[in-house]
Homo-oligomer: A and B are copies of this chain.
Amino acid sequence: MRADARDNRARIMTAADDVFGRAPGASTDDVARLAGVGIATVFRHFPTKIELLEAVLTLRLERLRDRALELAGSDDPGKAFFEFFTQVVAESASKLAIAEALTASGATAGEEVRAVGHGMRAAFDDLLTAAQKAGAVRADAQFAEVYALLIGASRGATAAGLEPDVRDRMLGILYDGLKHS
């Protein structure tokens, strides 16, 4: 791919992340406008809206996975675990909007999205294990319920359209439960 084509692709993805993250029902036209490219350029890179949505969702999950992998090397595994949990919940509204747009387009998550989602969960599991070894998270919590709490906190924050301070207090209660049994 030539440098200007790569630039266009990156601009389209950044614009799509923004547009679909705010409004699942947005159109590819809105993306082209924000990216400052013609609609034909969008379709050259992403022949269907579904391909564009999948690319954007994959990018989101890759970034979260990379953040988890980066935090895994931290000196303070407890802090790293709770920092990642908080970031996932804070970003969930826009991430869920993209996932919702994909579902509304009649597509289920493709192979690539599922693979990177799996990688993200594995990295989160490593953060949990390290935080438990450090005594920062209760030892009796298993991955299944901690992951359910992550999904639940994300959806609760999104569904209720929570103000940041209510979200922080919600997470404070949850984190107290995760710290001591």
Which residues does chain B contribute within 8 Å of A152, judged by CB atoms? 152-157, 159, 170
The 3 closest A-B pairs by CB, nearest first: A152-B156, A177-B177, A155-B155
Taking a contact as CB atoms under 8 Å apart, the answer to whether A159 and B149 are in contact is: no
Additional A-B contact list (14), CB under 8 Å, known A141-B169, A146-B173, A152-B153: A142-B169, A144-B163, A144-B166, A149-B170, A151-B155, A151-B159, A152-B152, A156-B156, A173-B174, A173-B177, A174-B177, A175-B177, A177-B177, A180-B180
The verdict on A134 contacting chain B, using a C-beta distance below 8 Å, is no
Would you call the interface of chain A mostly helix, strand, loop, or mixed?
helix
Complex interface residues of chain A between 158 and 181 (CB less than 8 A to chain B): 159-160, 162-163, 166-167, 169-170, 172-178, 180-181
The verdict on A111 contacting chain B, using a C-beta distance below 8 Å, is no
